[in-house]
Amino acid sequence: MTSLDKPTTDQDAQAPQDAQASKEVTEAALFEAFGGLRGMIETVVPGLLFVTIFTINKDLHISAIAALAVSLVLVAVRLIRRDTVKHAFSGVFGVAFGVVFAMMTGNAKDFYLPGMLYTLGLALAYIITTLAGVPLIGLILGPVFKENLSWRTRNPGRKKAYAKASLAWGLILLAKCAILFPMYWWADTTKFGWVLVALKIPPFLLAVYLTWMFLAKAPPPIDVFAEMEAEEQAEKARKEAARSTPEA
């Protein structure tokens, strides 16, 4: 009997479905962890508004106040809709620090400096934690996948995928910094601002895509919460069985 003549078992038929389900779960987890489309928009809009207004009237104060105001509006909308606000709040803090820096120095380019320093620090964190054996992307996504840190000791294939993803994030962000920091020194504010806005989304999408690719091919996560619940149920069943057993 050739391989084409072999009957298809239920397990063989289920495998592609499990793989597809795993990819869908991974995609949903990445969107939840990194804010999805709405989170990207909230990341871009304040900086885009700042550089647009500054390009038109060269007024640092109006540009900075407008960027901060739109960030607060985005948070307010999320609060009204009772959505997750962590991404919007992080955007507000980033814009607020940028406004403070720019106002203190009088240099409009300094509006972007805190975000650039954060990006550089994050890039180094991804690389250093990977070299230390605790890749940052695993620490971020572990709770989302309900596996916590089980991948470190019980799921080596998944740990390897997290390491690859963290290195990808680190290198992509370092490449972004390699473009922006030299421009910070020699480019004018308008040109620098438009380049920075243009580099907001593409590197992020590339990093998320590579993360999805690595994790989609990795072993499935170990649901430690389900394990704990099963252990609690088993322990409860043993106690009930012991109580129902008549004494000799």
pLDDT digits (tens, 9 = 90+) for 120-163: 999 999 999 999 999 999 999 998 888 999 999 999 999 999 99
Average pLDDT over residues 51-61: 90
Lowest mean pLDDT among 22-26, 151-155, 189-193: 22-26
Question: What's the confidence (pLDDT) of residue 85?
Answer: 63
Percent residues over pLDDT 70 in the chain: 81
Question: What's the confidence (pLDDT) of residue 92?
Answer: 79
Question: What's the confidence (pLDDT) of residue 33?
Answer: 66
Instruction: Identify whether the C-beta of residue 60 lies closer than 8 Å to the C-beta of residue 245.
Output: no
Dist CA 83 CA 132 (whole Å)? 35
pTM, entire model:
0.80
Dist CA 74 CA 54 (whole Å)? 21
- Tell me the H-state helices in the chain: 10-34, 36-57, 60-81, 86-105, 113-131, 136-141, 150-154, 156-186, 189-198, 201-216, 224-244
Instruction: Spell out the residues 6+ positions from residue 146 whose beta carbon is closer than 8 angstroms to its own.
Output: 221, 223, 224, 225, 226
Helix (H, G, I), strand (E, B) or coil at 84: coil
Dist CA 42 CA 127 (whole Å)? 26
User: Of the candidates 136, 156, 146, which has an alpha carbon nearest to the alpha carbon of residue 219?
Assistant: 156
